[in-house]
Structure 1
Amino acid sequence: MPVATVDETATHEVAITEETIEAFAALSGDGNPIHLDDEYAAETMFGGRVAHGVLSAAVVSGALARLSGDIVYLSQDLSFENPVFPGETVEATVRVTDDLGGDRLAVETTATVPARGERVLSGEATVLSVPHGDGD
């Protein structure tokens, strides 16, 4: 399989359910009540439970995995822009913007909640892209 190239894009989407949020909290150890407690979260600036921001970032990881070749996530700069609520779907889109040399690529990353038409995060990642199975 060829490696990812400049202007290549990929997407991935995940339905964010209450169960998804609870499983992520258990896995990550982040038990912040804004994610898990309806009564507590209702009194916050969000007016209800919200998903962990890093859960939306994980959807970006899924999109990166859909680029050509084997992708190794090296770094990520992110801005969390809007919350994600239980019952919403997050769609991540990644676009390779630059060949940095040495199999490294710069990738623009965004995630949206399409039903709201709102971006929930944006940033730039650096990935390593090598042909599938390279190094065997």
Structure 2
Amino acid sequence: MPVAAAGDDAEVQRDVTRETIEQYADLTGDENRLHTDPEYAAEGFFGGVVAHGMLGAGLISAALAALPGDIVYLSQDLDFAAPVRPGDTVRATAEVVEDVGDDRVRVETVAEVVDGDDAETVIDGEAVVLSVPHEN
């Protein structure tokens, strides 16, 4: 199996629902009321329930996993630009931009809320991953 190299890219797209957010909260134990309590969240910073930021980051991880080779996260920088709300469709992309040596590549990562031809960046970042051939 080939390994990830400069120019390779991958993407995943998922719909985020209230159920998705509740399942994420149950799985992680992150019960922050901005994510889990509609009445409380309506009065909060975002004016309603929003998805956990790391749920969007998890979609970036899924895009990285879709790159060639076995992918192992080494580091990730994330800037959270906007919230993801129930009903949003999130597209996460990963593009290899540089081979940094020792089977490591630098990858630009983005998560966007998409609506038809429109897209708003919600997470922007950069990862370094190990990309090695799959051994059978």
Q: Mapping of 1:104-123 within 5 angstroms?
A: 104-115=104-115, 117-123=119-125
Per-residue CA deviations over 1:33-85 (Å, capped at 9, x if unaligned) read 00011100101121110000000000001100110011111110000000000
**Alpha carbon RMSD of aligned pairs, Å?**
0.9
Q: Distance in 2 between matches of 1:96 and 1:71?
A: 12
Q: Percentage identity across aligned positions?
A: 57
Q: Which residue does the alignment assign to 2:15? A: 15
Q: Which residue does the alignment assign to 2:34? A: 34
**Structure 1 stretches lacking a partner, 5+ long:** none
Q: Give 1:132 shift.
A: 1.6
Give me the TM-score of the superposition, normalised by structure 2. 0.95
Question: What amino acid does structure 1 have at the position aligned with 2:119?
Answer: G
Q: Which residue does the alignment assign to 1:74? A: 74
Count of matched residue positions in the alignment of Structure 1 and Structure 2: 134
Give me the TM-score of the superposition, normalised by structure 1. 0.95
SS of 1:114's equivalent in the other structure is: strand
